Amino acid sequence: MRDSLVTLVGVGKLYEPSVRVLSDIDWSVAPGERCVVLGSSGSGKSTLLSILGLLLRPSQGEVQVEGENAWMWPEKKRAAWRTAKLGYVWQDAGLLPELTVLENVNLPLHIRGIPKKKWNGQNLLERVGLGRRSHAHPSELSGGEAQRAAIARALAGSPSLVIADEPTGNLQQRQAEDICRLLLELQEELEFGLVVATHNEALIKYLQADPYWIIDGSLSSNPPEEAT
Amino acid sequence: MGSIIGISAAITALLVILSFAQGVQDFFGERILMLAPHLTLEAGVNEEITQDLKRTILEVPGVKAVSPYVQFPALIQKGLAAEPITVKGVSWDSELELIDSAEILEAGDWRQIKLGQGAVLGVELARSLGVNVGDRVVLVSPYLSRALLVDGLFYTGYYGIDGSLVMVGLEVGQELLGTTGVTGYGVRIDDYTRADVFIGPLQDATGLWVRPWYEREQGLFISMAVQRTVLVWILVFTLLVSALGIMNVYLFRAWAQQRSVGVLRALGASPRQIGALFLIQGLASGFLGGIVGVLSARLAVWGLSHVTIRLPQIFYLEKLPIAWAHKDVWWVMAAAVLTGAAAVLLPARRMTQVDPVEVVRRAG
């Protein structure tokens, strides 16, 4: 248990009034591990990732971090853990329109109160191929560029775990493949844990990740046909 | 920007009105003090003082000068014209230590006046009777009437004094009142704004009824204070309306920025940090609005103080009585900053309640 970044023990989620999305999930993500969570739209992928990222409290079960039930921690400690250990990538990039690309990438470091001289946003932007667009605003970027910037932001705090929720959902297949290759390269280089949720099974080969399927609220390492 | 303009407009109006109130108060205060002592000591209504208390009064620390007087109502006649007046009989040598002699004399000669045989009239009273220096008038008291030459005319700029006060020598006054005593003493101190501090010590020293200068014109000063208070409240409500406008702007902004706030929360910003972002914006709006408001008001007050106006003669005003209300700047600034902060409290609270999960779910 202590070797994993996050461990879910018997986790379930019930949305009011009585919509059960997830049930009895036992799962752990180890440092440096790559996982893909697959499932149709509305299957509970985002809910699972929110629980994994300590954003959403499960209705049942425990989310264990560093050997403790993270939901027994005060909110401040959970927020601090999220800021220090997690990087997020969302489907629509989630860049703040008021800030430049570089400011967006440095934002998690700013929130953590890290001194400016230690901000590595520009290096990360260069690493994802956006070195020359650092002073542009998000509205000036293409979908693929915005997603690259979002990946750079996710990596800004040198996280142990990156959670990417449909990071290619708004992209053409070609761009989606590029983003997956970039994620794979960065993961191999920086060795963070990576969990990607997608409904596009074709991307598994580009991510070279262990696939998991959400079927009727349960998590399975077998595809739906085999699971049934 | 809109919120800054809203606050600055309210602050400008508030400070200009306060400056008007201050200007009017200063104007009347200065005018009244041209002829009125800082404090008066009297035995009571229709009572006279037969003992010489001058030395006793001068022994009270802080007292700079003392002058005895007799004061009583009378009539002044010139031909067929007659006016009700207040006669004040003074010992000119000591009285001139109390009042600003150089400024008040409009016509006449102090050397002649100091002889104490004639009368010195307010210019408005002289105008209504049609008299000038050297003319003869008759003062009629309950005891006797006496003809006097007009030795001088004074001008304070306060109609209440210039239109109804006649000053004569102390002996003439005592003769008209049929007494050898006095009705009171006038006292001058260093700083007239501290007149109330001397009430107790003077009362203890003499046993007389001590009144500060402003109490003699209490009605005037009370009405000015009431007007000032009402205006301040009206403008405080204006500020409140500005605050509601700003709150609406921020509520809309909060609604429009929910997505960004959700992202910030998911990136690790605490609800307190998010709330602080809004609160800082509100405080900054209040502070900047306050600064702009104070500067605009200062400019407006400067401009208005140079405007020549035409008002009925009773006001004696050629310029608007406006004096920069510098003592009020600090609390007005504080009110501006508080308004800005209060306006964003509700939006800030709403922002702290944004659920970051929604951001992830909407994207998923």
H-helix segments, chain B: 2-35, 54-58, 92-95, 101-104, 110-114, 123-129, 159-162, 170-177, 199-206, 213-216, 218-256, 258-266, 271-304, 329-352, 356-363
Distance (Å, whole) CA A56 – CA A193: 20
With CA atoms as reference, the chain B residue closest to A108 would be B267
Distance (Å, whole) CA B70 – CA B89: 5
| Residue A135 buriedness (CB in 10 A; 0-12 / 13-18 / 19+) | exposed
The label of the residue with tokens 């990087």 reads: A87
Give the count of Cβ contacts less than 8 A between chain A and B.
69
Q: Are A164 and B361 in contact (CB under 8 A)?
A: no
Residue A108 touches chain B, beta carbons under 8 Å: yes
Residue B360 touches chain A, beta carbons under 8 Å: yes
First to last CA, chain A: 29
pLDDT value of position B360? 55
Q: pLDDT tens, position by position, for chain B (364 residues)?
A: 667 888 888 889 888 988 888 888 788 777 777 777 888 888 877 788 888 888 888 888 888 899 999 999 999 998 888 889 999 999 888 888 887 766 788 888 888 888 888 899 999 999 999 999 989 999 998 888 889 999 999 888 778 888 999 999 999 999 998 888 899 999 988 888 788 888 999 888 888 889 888 877 777 778 878 888 888 888 788 878 878 887 888 888 778 778 888 888 888 787 888 888 888 888 888 899 899 999 999 999 898 888 776 666 555 666 777 888 888 889 888 988 888 888 888 888 888 877 777 655 554 4
Q: pLDDT tens, position by position, for chain A (228 residues)?
A: 447 899 999 999 988 777 888 989 999 999 989 999 998 888 888 899 999 999 889 999 999 998 899 999 998 888 888 888 899 888 888 888 888 999 999 988 888 888 888 888 898 998 888 888 889 999 999 888 998 899 999 989 889 999 998 888 777 788 888 888 888 888 888 889 999 998 888 888 888 888 999 988 889 888 877 544
Residue B351 touches chain A, beta carbons under 8 Å: no
A98–B263: do the CB atoms touch at under 8 Å? no
Tokens of B2: 């809109």
Longest CA–CA separation in chain B, Å: 106
Per-residue burial over A32-68, b = 16 or more CB atoms within 10 Å of its CB, e = otherwise: ebbbbbbbeeebbbbbbbbbbbbbbebbebbbbbeee
pLDDT value of position A88? 87
Please list, in sequence order, all residues whose beta carbon lies within 8 angstroms of the beta carbon of residue A174, skipping any fewer than 6 positions away. Answer: none
pLDDT value of position B312? 62
B360–A97: do the CB atoms touch at under 8 Å? no
Distance (Å, whole) CA B171 – CA B168: 8
Q: Could you say which of A91, A107, A153 has the minimum Cβ distance to residue B363?
A: A91
pLDDT value of position B157? 78
ipTM for the whole complex: 0.78
Give the CA radius of gyration of chain A: 17
pLDDT value of position A100? 93
First to last CA, chain B: 36
pLDDT value of position A228? 45
Residue type, B87: V
Structural element, H or E, at residue A76: helix A75-85
A92–B364: do the CB atoms touch at under 8 Å? no
Reported as a single tens digit per residue, the pLDDT across B199-246 is 999 888 888 889 888 877 777 778 878 888 888 888 788 878 878 887
pLDDT value of position B318? 67
Which residue of B258, B267, B358 to mutate against A (max A Cβ within 10 Å)? B267
pLDDT value of position B317? 66
pLDDT value of position B224? 79
- What CA–CA distances, in Å, run from B231 to A88, B8, B28, B225, B238? 56, 17, 19, 10, 10
Distance (Å, whole) CA B138 – CA B79: 9
Q: Are A182 and A210 in contact (CB under 8 A)?
A: no
pLDDT value of position B362? 57
Residues of B within 8 A of A96 (CB-CB) are 260, 263-264
Say if strands B119-122 and B165-169 run parallel, antiparallel, or are unpaired.
antiparallel
To the question of pTM greater than 0.80 for the whole model, the response is no
Residues of B within 8 A of A165 (CB-CB) are 360, 363-364
pLDDT value of position A62? 94
Reported as a single tens digit per residue, the pLDDT across B41-95 is 888 777 888 888 888 888 888 888 999 999 999 999 988 888 899 999 998 888 8
